[in-house]
Structure 1
Amino acid sequence: MNCPASLSIVIPCYDEEEVLPSTYARLKELCLGWVNAGKITEYEIVFVNDGSTDKTFDIMRGFFESDQNVVVVDFRKNFGFQSAISAGLYAAKNEMIVSIDSDLQNDPEKIAEMVAKYYEGYEMVLGVRKDRAADKFFKRITAQLFYKLVSFFGIPSVYNHADFRLLSRDIVAELKNFPERARYLRSLIFSVESKYACVYYECRARALGRSKFNFSKMVSLAIDGITSFSAMPIRLISLLGIVMFLFSIIGLVYTLCVRFFLQAVVPGWASVLLIILFLGGIQNLSLGVIGEYLSKLYLEAKQRPPYIIRREYRHK
């Protein structure tokens, strides 16, 4: 790899007016230090406004007007975190492209280690949390459950890696060949590159504001991640259907044997009702899973863009 190389930092934002000033100041300080130390040749900071409803965009515009190294991508509406990251990656012009959360709970100083890995020949460097001790109990449990499900369904991923990563410009160019609307970059990147390095960091507490990534968004991201990269849920439904069919045959044979050979009637209306309720629940669950896949096909078939940019602000 070229050493030193140029660096772009992508920051997706939705209603982050509280944290943006300190985030920008910290990243600018670090980037200038890396330039002066000869670790990078130049840098740019790419802010993506994901349809914010507060003063986030105005703050970004202020950064842009006072700093030649700032780029602003302004969405027409909120398209979601993964779309915002994608737009920022595609807007970035430098050789190394890092995506990082706007609240800097991902340690920005670790970007220097990512850059060092890039110079060692890795075009994909993943930021991985050392642990989840800082998380609340519920979030820690649900995160562990999600990663276990991802592993069970055979979806490529790295445990405790979110969206803090470095990608080469070539890998980002390859990602453009994947046009799907429901994007799950944590696994999509492995469709492009299998060789990667990891940089481990401690997740910091959020200094200001509150996270906009609520429980419903986490569930939506998990569903997108599973249904976009694995057909196993559909196969499990088929397998469950076969197992239930076999059990019903066994139950039928047992009932007939008791009735005709023992001259008795199998009692148990309560158990029959429970079985009916159980089967009804399984059917509804199966329809829900199938519906998720059908809705994804429906959205992809319409070929709507994953995001719409109102304007990109860039210094010539």
Structure 2
Amino acid sequence: MKPKRLNLVVPCFNEEAVLPETIARLLALLDDLVARSLVSADSAMTFVDDGSRDDTWAIIEAGRAGDARVGGIRLSANRGHQHALLAGLLNAPGDVLISLDADLQDDLAAIPKMLEAHQRGAEIVYGVRGRRVHDSLFKRYSAWTYYWLLHRLGVDVVADHADFRLMGRRAIEALSGFTEVNLFLRGIVPLLGFPSEVVTYERNARFAGETKYPLSKMIALAANGVFSFSTVPLQWITVLGFVVALGSVGAGFWALGVRLFTPYALPGWASTVIPMYFLGSVQLLAIGIIGGYVSRIYAETKRRPRFIIEKTL
């Protein structure tokens, strides 16, 4: 089989501390893959600068000056990791695209295994973390809870898979047909339905710099995955409302029984304040969940560009 042209797609945001090492390692990886006839000699890499405020773009330009295999896409503003990744996937050339993070936590040794799986017929190959030894206890258990919750809500995602994946050209063309603004690629890619395989790897510690995904962004991404791919929370609101209604009727009969058949019926604030706060909190929860869906509908109806490319190399 003739080796295919590979392109490594790497979204970046303020990665000046790690980027020189990333470029050097990816160039060495390409040399090795070409020597093993796993990819063609014109394979390359594309770094997507997601509106960085440091010297990330200058480093990409320097890498391009040193080696023509280093390509770059600069977005006009920070659009978030998922949009930057999509910009790279939809604009990078190549027969096969592999997306990975710039922080070198994704194991480059897994890439040859991904290419071999693609040669066996897999159009999509997911990089799945076999162990999370470098993650904190909170990160490991929160990730497990998140994937468990998504599966319970009916969202088709690959557990312990982030955005380290291989996609063939057919899968990329199919992905371009998904036009939603609220991006959750971990949920969209499985919907493509092409033959897929899983390659497990051990995630490394970050080589340099700081994580660009603090807890607030992780929670936002998690919420986006739920609201974009499941209507189960809306069904839960209905069930919760029914249960609260039954409880209210039961409490009413209990209060009536106490009033008619016992001498213990004393007027007090608890019988008024507690139900009021309980019902109010249920209503606010329901409004919040509905608001999550409505806000995403609002964003989709505006049809604004998901990203704007300022410059390419």
TM-score category by the smaller chain?
Answer: over 0.9
**Residue in 1 that maps onto 2:252:** 252
- How far does residue 261 in structure 1 lie from its aligned partner after superposition? 5.2
**Residue in 2 that maps onto 1:39:** 38
CA RMSD of aligned residues (A): 1.6
- Superposed CA offset, 1:74-110 (max 9, x none): 0000000000110110112111110000011010121
Name the aligned partner's letter for residue 201 of structure 1: Y
> Structure 2 matches for 1:162-177, cutoff 5 A?
162-177=162-177
- Superposed CA offset, 1:182-238 (max 9, x none): 110011001112531111111111121111111111011001111000011111111
**Residue in 1 that maps onto 2:195:** 195
- How far does residue 139 in structure 1 lie from its aligned partner after superposition? 1.5
Instruction: Work out the CA distance in 2 between the residues paired with 1:270 and 1:263.
Output: 18
Which SS does the other structure have where 2:116 is aligned? helix
Residues 255, 62 of structure 1: alpha-carbon distance in 2 compared, 3 angstrom cutoff: same
Count the aligned residue pairs: 312
**Residue in 2 that maps onto 1:13:** 12
Asked if the contact 1:126/1:199 (under 8 Å) is kept, the reply is yes
Instruction: Work out the CA distance in 2 between the residues paired with 1:6 and 1:243.
Output: 58
- How far does residue 269 in structure 1 lie from its aligned partner after superposition? 3.5
Asked if the contact 1:124/1:193 (under 8 Å) is kept, the reply is no
Which SS does the other structure have where 2:204 is aligned? coil
> Structure 2 matches for 1:222-241, cutoff 5 A?
222-241=222-241
Name the aligned partner's letter for residue 189 of structure 2: I
- How far does residue 272 in structure 1 lie from its aligned partner after superposition? 4.2
The sequence identity of aligned pairs, in percent, is 38
- Superposed CA offset, 1:130-151 (max 9, x none): 1222111222222122112111
> Structure 2 matches for 1:264-303, cutoff 5 A?
265=265, 269-270=269-270, 272-303=272-303
- How far does residue 267 in structure 1 lie from its aligned partner after superposition? 6.2
> Structure 2 matches for 1:72-221, cutoff 5 A?
72-193=72-193, 195-221=195-221
Asked if the contact 2:10/2:99 (under 8 Å) is kept, the reply is yes
Structure 1 residue runs of 5 or longer lacking an equivalent are none
Asked if the contact 2:126/2:199 (under 8 Å) is kept, the reply is yes
Instruction: Work out the CA distance in 1 between the residues paired with 2:153 and 2:213.
Output: 24
Asked if the contact 2:122/2:194 (under 8 Å) is kept, the reply is no
- How far does residue 271 in structure 1 lie from its aligned partner after superposition? 5.3
Which SS does the other structure have where 1:205 is aligned? coil
- Superposed CA offset, 1:34-62 (max 9, x none): 11221111311010000000000011111
Residues 265, 3 of structure 1: alpha-carbon distance in 2 compared, 3 angstrom cutoff: farther
Residues 34, 168 of structure 1: alpha-carbon distance in 2 compared, 3 angstrom cutoff: same
- How far does residue 111 in structure 1 lie from its aligned partner after superposition? 0.5
| Deviates further, 214-223 or 34-43 | 34-43
Which SS does the other structure have where 2:122 is aligned? coil
Structure 2 residue runs of 5 or longer lacking an equivalent are none
Asked if the contact 2:123/2:194 (under 8 Å) is kept, the reply is no
Instruction: Work out the CA distance in 2 between the residues paired with 1:294 and 1:312.
Output: 36
Asked if the contact 2:121/2:195 (under 8 Å) is kept, the reply is no
Instruction: Work out the CA distance in 1 between the residues paired with 2:270 and 2:193.
Output: 55
Name the aligned partner's letter for residue 293 of structure 1: Y
Which SS does the other structure have where 1:155 is aligned? coil
- Superposed CA offset, 1:142-172 (max 9, x none): 2122112111111011111000000111111
Asked if the contact 1:3/1:119 (under 8 Å) is kept, the reply is no
Residues 55, 123 of structure 1: alpha-carbon distance in 2 compared, 3 angstrom cutoff: same
Instruction: Work out the CA distance in 1 between the residues paired with 2:214 and 2:127.
Output: 22
- How far does residue 66 in structure 1 lie from its aligned partner after superposition? 2.5
Asked if the contact 1:131/1:202 (under 8 Å) is kept, the reply is yes
Instruction: Work out the CA distance in 2 between the residues paired with 1:163 and 1:59.
Output: 23
Asked if the contact 2:82/2:183 (under 8 Å) is kept, the reply is yes
Name the aligned partner's letter for residue 59 of structure 2: I
Asked if the contact 2:50/2:80 (under 8 Å) is kept, the reply is yes
| Deviates further, 67-76 or 270-279 | 270-279
Which SS does the other structure have where 2:5 is aligned? strand
